Amino acid sequence: MKKASVFFMAATALFVASCSSSEEAADENGNEEKVEAVTYKLDAANTTLTWHGEMSPEYGHDGTINVTEGSVTMMGDALESGSFTVDMNSIAVTDEGMDDMKKGYLAAHLMGTAPDEDHPQNMFWNTPDFPAATVTLTSYEDGQLGMTLNIIGKEVKSTVPAKIKTEGDKAMIMGDFSISFADMGIPGFMADPETGEGINPNVEFSLNAVLTK
């Protein structure tokens, strides 16, 4: 009985030891190396985020918006966590052929910083009340990035195609994707009840985020 107990304890210890090595990986020689979490901070100057919104396939607008701060923590190639802040007052219009005055007016219309009778402050992003949006990364698997966007005081959860790549002291997040704001009750995205027409609530984005240790 004593020998059996000793054997059971040894087997249990071996099982626990094998489970605790889940954060280790084998190198090219077969030796196990401990994988440690690495945090990369946003390089805002080299990060770009562009947007495209449209009323119809024939009529739309293009622009940029700034990601101002954030970080991503990786465990090898696996995402541990990540969050970013987007400056909603940095919305800019980049339509080709549009003069600067019209670009400025359209940007102000989207931000709600120049409200009038036909374009109230809360028609779109209402930046006087909600100057920033936050993005929390929740998962990354098979090229699909899960995220929760907190914007105008509401949450939008999305899973979008993206690529996370680490190389030396640098990490990159790249992706072209669409986010739907259809269920947020934003006046600018709600269809006209009489005609059924309205601005497409699916906004397209192209992200190229650069982060460094």
Kindly state the tokens that stand for 141. Answer: 């698997």
Share the mean pLDDT of the chain. Answer: 87
Region 60-68: mean pLDDT is: 97
Q: Write out pLDDT tens, residues 89-124.
A: 999 999 999 999 999 999 999 999 999 998 999 999
Considering Cα of 210, then 167, then 161, then 26, what sign does the dihedral take? negative
pLDDT confidence tier of residue 57, bands split at 50, 70 and 90: confident
C-alpha angle 174-68-105 in degrees, rounded to nearest 5: 95
Enumerate the β-bridge partners of residue 16: none
190/196 Cα distance (integer angstroms): 9
Kindly state the tokens that stand for 6. Answer: 């000793």
> Between 6 and 55, whose confidence is greater?
55
Kindly state the tokens that stand for 140. Answer: 């990354």
Region 130-141: mean pLDDT is: 98
What are residue 164's phi and psi, to 5 degrees? Answer: -110, 125
pLDDT of residue 20 exceeding 60: no
Residue 41 · residue 57 · CB < 8 Å: no
What are residue 24's phi and psi, to 5 degrees? Answer: -110, 150
> Between 35 and 45, whose confidence is greater?
45
22-36, 39-53, 73-87, 106-120: lowest mean pLDDT where?
A: 22-36
Q: pTM for this one?
A: 0.82
Q: Which residues of 50-71 are buried (b: 16+ CB within 10 A; e: fewer)?
A: bbbbeeeeeeebbbebbbeebe
